[in-house]
A and B are shown apart, each in its own frame.
Chain A
Amino acid sequence: GQQVMQIPQYQHVQEGEDFTTYCNSSTTLSNIQWYKQRPGGHPVFLIQLVKSGEVKKQKRLTFQFGEAKKNSSLHITATQTTDVGTYFCAGVRGGNMLTFGGGTRLMVKP
Chain B
Amino acid sequence: DAGVIQSPRHEVTEMGQEVTLRCKPISGHNSLFWYRQTMMRGLELLIYFNNNVPIDDSGMPEDRFSAKMPNASFSTLKIQPSEPRDSAVYFCASSSQGVYEQFFGPGTRLTVL
**Partner-B contacts on A (CB < 8 A):** 31, 33, 41-45, 48, 88, 92, 94-103
Contacts and interface: CB of A to CB of B under 8 A. Distances in A.
14 contacts: A42-B104, A42-B105, A43-B104, A44-B104, A45-B101, A45-B102, A48-B100, A92-B100, A94-B56, A95-B50, A96-B50, A96-B102, A97-B45, A99-B45
A44 B104 CA distance: 7
A29 to B, nearest CB: 12
Give the size range of B's interface with the partner. 20 to 34
Interface of B: 31, 33, 42-45, 48, 50, 55-56, 91, 93, 95, 100-107
Contacts of A96: 31, 33, 48, 50, 95, 100, 102
